[in-house]
Amino acid sequence: MASTKFLVTSVESGKTATVDFGASILSASVAVQGYTVSFGEKVDHHVKTLKVNTSISSISGSVVTVGAICTMEDNSKNKANGTVNVLVAAVCD
């Protein structure tokens, strides 16, 4: 009987991470659970753009590989990258 399992992983912007559910995966989905991004302490910036997303890169057996993007830019074109907490939900056999 299939069961739904949930795991959370942290992914640096532009990178991937793997999550092993320990059982064959029938389907999976991801969602942003949270994120962290900063220009640094004691620095005042007017944020122009903030982009945060996550996606599934691949599913193989019991493993889901997820990617994430977390970027921020101000009006002076200063950029910062962050980390995304990704919630992975998988229906397992």
Mean pLDDT of the chain: 96
- 1.10.230, 2.60.40, 3.40.50, 1.10.3470: CATH of 3-92: 2.60.40
The whole-number pLDDT of residue 86 equals 98
pLDDT in tens, 30-73: 999 999 999 987 778 889 999 999 999 999 999 999 999 999 99
Residue 40's Cβ-side half-sphere holds a number of Cα atoms within 13 Å equal to 5
List C-alpha distances in Å: 66 to 10, 48, 51, 56, 91: 10, 27, 17, 4, 16
The whole-number pLDDT of residue 82 equals 98
Q: Coil, strand or helix: which one is 8?
A: strand
The whole-number pLDDT of residue 90 equals 98
- Report the predicted TM-score, pTM, of the whole model to 2 decimal places: 0.91
The whole-number pLDDT of residue 44 equals 82
